[in-house]
Copies of this chain bind each other. A is one copy, B any other.
Amino acid sequence: MIAPDVQALAERGWPGELGLPESIGFLTRLARLVMLTERVFSGIAERHRISFDDYLVLATTGRAAPATSPSQLCRILGRTSGGMTLTLDRLEQAGWLRRSPDPSDRRRVLVRLTPSGRRLSERVNRALHEWEHGVVPAGEAEELGALVDRLLEVVGRSGS
C-alpha cells in the first residue's frame, strides 16, 4: 500500500478521526495544519529532488552572503553540529555547496553555495512562491501573514 497524498489528508474528516483532545479544539486544528503544511512544502521541494530540510540549509546559506558557517547554520536551524556535518557532506557531495577554511579564524569553516546550489535553491524558492500565489488571493496575503504572526506569538509562549 502506498501512502495517501496530501489531498486525501486535507479532505478526510480528520478532527474526529485523529484522536486529539476534544477533537474540535485549537490543538487538533493546529496539529492538522502542521501536518498538512509539512507535506505540501516537502512535496514541492522533493519535486526538485531535494528534501525540504536540505533546501532550508541551502536557502539559509544563500541568504548569508557571501558565506556562513556550520555552527551558524546549527543555531538558525536548530540542529546539532554532528548532524550538520553529515548534512553538509551530503550537500557538498551533490555539488550544491562547498566548504573552505576561514582565514581569519582557523577553527572555523566557511560554507557557501556553488552556482548550481544557488540555482537549485532559487528554483525551489520560485516553486514555493508559485504555490503561495496559487493558494493565497492577492488581496489576502497581508492579512493571512498577520494571522500567522498571531499564531506564532501564541505558540511561541511555550517554554517561557
Contacts and interface: CB of A to CB of B under 8 A. Distances in A.
Interface of A: 1-12, 14, 16-27, 29-41, 43, 56, 58-64, 71, 74-82, 121, 125, 128-129, 131-132, 134-136, 141, 144-145, 147-152, 154-160
B135 A157 contact: yes
Contacts of A9: 78
Contact of A18 (B25, B29, B76): B76
Contact of A74 (B3, B63, B121, B152): B3
Nearest to A81: B1
A129 B80 CA distance: 30
A136 B154 contact: yes
Contact of A155 (B1, B2, B33, B81): B33
Q: Count this chain's copies in the assembly.
A: 2
A63 to B, nearest CB: 3
Contact of A26 (B75, B80, B148, B160): B148
Given A6-B159, A36-B156, 13 more contacts: A2-B80, A3-B74, A3-B79, A4-B78, A7-B158, A14-B76, A21-B125, A24-B145, A25-B145, A33-B34, A34-B34, A134-B157, A151-B151
A156 to B, nearest CB: 4
Given A34-B37, A60-B19, A80-B3, A10 B145 contact: no
B40 A158 contact: yes
A158 B136 contact: no
A41 B31 contact: yes
